[in-house]
A = this chain, B = another copy of it.
Amino acid sequence: MALKHGLLGLLNYGQMTGYELNRAFKDSLNFFWQAQTSQIYRELKAMEKLGWLTSEIVVQRDKPNKRLYSITGAGRAELQGWLNKEGNDSKFEIRSAFLMRVFFSGERNIDENLTMLKHYRTKCLDAAAAMENTDLSIERYRSVVSTDRQAFYWGLTANFGKAYVKMCLDWADNAIQTLEESR
């Protein structure tokens, strides 16, 4: 239910359309949760059915009409309950098809694996560069939507992202070096 609660959390900052939510989602939560645009719209409908949201059509002349969603009292309660639920969400498991490929890479030769790891390393660097923008993104959203209090926690997740990317890069460097030495 994390996607639903992510959307609830964003709508808790203020009314938004599916289109705006999709953008906000991809600007903020996308590092630790991914969703297709179509799924976001689908979930919004489901959430309205659950009574967590209400919506109304906003007629526009200069652009297509849109549906504006608002969080309800029940939605706020649901969000709070979810935040307070010390659940089984602090698991350590990762889901990574890449690591699964690495696991079975004994089936391939060293050069192929070096290429794979170097490709991964490049992605690490790209991700690290992208992470540099998170602070700017937080600044931008803070002024629009929210307070320092919220932004502090956004920063914590951004820190996690940076640390993660750095860890991946170090791991890749190490793996590449070990493999090259073994050749």
Contact = CB atoms under 8 A, between A and B. Distances in A.
Contact of A163 (B123, B147, B149, B171): B171
B89 A98 contact: yes
Contacts of A103: 6, 9, 28-29, 32, 153-154, 157
A124 B104 CA distance: 26
B175 A92 contact: no
B170 A163 contact: yes
Nearest to A150: B106
B156 A123 contact: no
A33 interface: yes
Interface residues of A, number: 71
A99 B160 contact: yes
Interface in A100-130: 100-108, 112-113, 115-116, 119-120, 123-124, 127
Interface of A: 2, 5-6, 9, 12, 28-34, 79-80, 82-84, 86-87, 89-108, 112-113, 115-116, 119-120, 123-124, 127, 146-147, 149-154, 156-157, 159-160, 163-168, 170-171, 174-175, 182
